[in-house]
């Protein structure tokens, strides 16, 4: 990040404590609430060099324009690709969290981008690879190429934060250069933000503006307690309501990147949950709406093995109370994929505890991926068999069988006409697809005639098209 101005001065409170003029110029990290009048400059010096600018871009040419127009009616929207020669760019912030050159940023900063550069506070620039994208937490991990002499921020314990704790936000708002703002933790466990699947945000009044995305939220010990992600604003500027992904969740994503995983592996419950509203709470005998209600249980998952049943209410994960499915997903994910964890449940008006096995969702049946290369509307799509792992990864409902679009090549026919990850290809030319082998066989023998049935988020539609 390019620094244009860091104006941190001794707080006015020091004047009221009888400090001399010389004493008022001394700077030290506050180590007690009584010393808040001292400067934050030492914390900034300790951490700011690890907060970086992230420049992402994408250039591509639109292909298969005729086929795209042909399929426009099928999908009811326009192609996500751009006209020939046009490029996209994005500017955000990031945090160096490992001396090997690992940088955490927000996924939306690098989403749909294929070229990334990172600029350090000392004006050095590095090209970077995207090693992991996790849209569900809106986090991503980058790896600097040929890094050297990097300043690193230590990950702190966001679980230990309390409302009222002092924090600093460091980032690059509006692209003006590295900027530090100060505030407090305004609230914890915010879940109604609508930014990611795992909503459990730290709320702060430290000024966060566009360009701060992916920047650092720092505690008074100079540790990273959050990744600044979103703001609430009617105008686009800061009004004192900012949100950060807790460092505990950032650690989960970072650990997956360190072991070479392209995706974050999370524990799988094998049950569908819904919030507990006032009416449901009254029917369960609860004094207030809390916990989550189990609406269905997958017949082969950890939930059924632990004895969880439809109609149970889950009130806590390992003793940590939960108020909604977002809170459950956050707490359950932090437990990892080994061993067991206790759930507090309410059944028949009585609380009890069950032990649930922590395990990743199974790859059963195997994915058996098929990448479509023949000329067709699905050219460039990778199809896989439905499984709990695929359903969890793509956030779709588990089906008994089926063929799912798991990936799309950039600029491919499938991407141009509007297919999306997570689409289930139910049938082609009247033949229902139970596996990728079926899909490969049916697509291979089609001769310019396409009757395609798609299930997208529960909406099933069919169209008849030709080349």
Q: Rounded to the nearest 5°, which phi and psi values hold at 42?
A: -60, -35
Which residue do the tokens 């206790």 mark? Answer: 342
Bridge partners, residue 385, by sequence: 403
Phi-psi domain of 146 (left: phi exceeds 0; alpha: psi -120 through 50; beta: other): left
Q: Which of 39, 93, 108, 158 is catalytic?
A: 108
Annotated active-site residue 138? The verdict is: yes
Q: Are 117 and 127 in contact (CB under 8 A)?
A: yes
For the chain, what is the radius of gyration of the CA atoms? 25
What is the per-residue burial (b if ≥16 Cβ within 10 Å, else e) of 204-227?
Answer: bbbbbbbbbbbbbbbbbebbbbbb
Question: Among this protein's residues, is 32 annotated catalytic?
Answer: no
Measuring CA to CA, which residue among 165, 264, 256, 173 is closest to residue 205? 165
The pair of structure tokens assigned to 173 is: 């708002």
Nearest to 191 by CA among 292, 97, 95, 117: 292
Residues listed for the chain: 467
Task: Find the catalytic residue in 93, 196, 213, 387.
Answer: 213
Answer for the pair 416, 68: CB distance below 8 angstroms, yes or no. Answer: yes
Query: Helices (DSSP H) in 259-324: which residue ranges?
Result: 278-284, 302-306
Which residues lie below 8 Å from residue 407, measured CB to CB, with a gap of 6+? 381, 382, 421
- Half-sphere exposure (CA, 13 Å, Cβ side) for 255? 13
Q: Is 283 annotated as a binding residue?
A: no
* Residue 425 CA neighbour count, 13 Å, CB half: 34
| 163, 188 Cβ separation under 8 angstroms | yes
Q: What angle do CA 25, 26, 32 make, to 5 degrees?
A: 125
Alpha-helical (H) ranges within 97-191 are 107-110
- Whose CA is closest to 178, among 370, 408, 5? 5
Is 211 annotated to bind ligand?
A: yes
Q: Catalytic: which of 98, 134, 138, 423? A: 138
The answer to whether 108 is a known ligand-binding residue is yes
User: How far is the C-alpha of 351 from the C-alpha of 346, rounded, in Å?
Assistant: 4
Q: Is 228 annotated as a binding residue?
A: no
Q: Is 212 annotated in some ligand binding site? A: yes
The neighbour count for residue 136, using CB atoms within 10 Å, is: 20
244 close to 206: Cβ distance less than 8 angstroms: no
Binding residues: 108, 138, 211-213
Catalytic residues, by residue number, are 108, 138, 213
Binding residues for substrate: 108, 138, 211-213
């Amino acid at each position: 990040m390019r620094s244009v101005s860091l104006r941190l001065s001794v707080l006015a409170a020091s004047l009221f404590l009888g400090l001399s003029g010389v004493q008022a110029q001394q700077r030290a990290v506050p180590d007690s609430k009584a010393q808040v009048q001292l400067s934050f400059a030492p914390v900034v010096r300790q951490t700011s060099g690890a907060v970086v600018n992230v420049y992402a871009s994408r250039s591509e040419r639109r292909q298969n324009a005729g086929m795209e127009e042909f399929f426009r009616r099928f999908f009811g929207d326009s192609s996500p690709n751009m006209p020939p020669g046009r490029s996209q760019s994005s500017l955000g912030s990031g945090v160096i969290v490992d001396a090997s050159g690992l940088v955490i940023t927000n996924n939306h900063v690098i989403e749909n981008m294929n070229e990334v550069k990172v600029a350090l506070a000392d004006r050095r620039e590095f090209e970077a690879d995207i090693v992991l994208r996790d849209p569900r937490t809106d986090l991503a991990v980058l790896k600097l190429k040929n890094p050297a002499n990097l300043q690193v921020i230590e990950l702190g314990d966001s679980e230990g934060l309390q409302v009222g704790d002092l924090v600093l936000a460091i980032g690059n708002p509006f692209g003006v250069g590295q900027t530090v703002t100060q505030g407090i933790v305004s609230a914890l466990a915010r879940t109604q933000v609508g930014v990611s699947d795992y909503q459990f945000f730290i709320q702060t009044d430290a000024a966060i503006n566009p360009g701060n995305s992916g920047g650092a939220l720092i505690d008074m010990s100079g540790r990273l307690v959050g990744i600044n992600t979103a703001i609430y604003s009617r105008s686009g500027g800061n009004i004192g309501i900012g949100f950060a992904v807790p460092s505990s969740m950032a650690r989960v994503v970072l650990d997956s990147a360190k072991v070479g995983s392209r995706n974050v592996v999370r524990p799988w419950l094998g049950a569908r949950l819904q919030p507990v509203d006032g009416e449901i709470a009254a029917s369960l005998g609860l004094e207030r709406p809390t916990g989550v209600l189990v609406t269905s249980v997958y017949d082969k998952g950890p939930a059924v093995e632990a004895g969880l049943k439809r109609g149970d209410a889950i009130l806590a994960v390992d003793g940590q109370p939960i108020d909604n499915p977002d809170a459950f997903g956050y707490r359950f994910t932090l437990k990892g994929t080994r061993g067991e964890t206790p759930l507090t449940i309410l059944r028949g008006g009585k609380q009890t505890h069950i032990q649930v096995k922590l395990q990743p969702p199974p790859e059963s049946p195997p994915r058996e991926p098929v990448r479509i290369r023949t000329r067709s509307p699905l050219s460039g799509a990778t199809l896989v068999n439905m499984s709990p792992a695929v359903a969890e990864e793509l956030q779709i409902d588990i089906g008994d069988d089926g063929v799912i679009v798991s990936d799309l090549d950039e600029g491919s026919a499938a991407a141009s006409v509007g297919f999306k990850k997570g689409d289930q290809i139910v049938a082609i030319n009247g033949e229902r697809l139970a596996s990728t082998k079926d899909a490969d066989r049916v697509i291979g023998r089609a001769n310019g005639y396409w009757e395609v049935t798609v299930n997208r988020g529960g909406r099933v539609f069919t169209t008849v098209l030709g080349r």
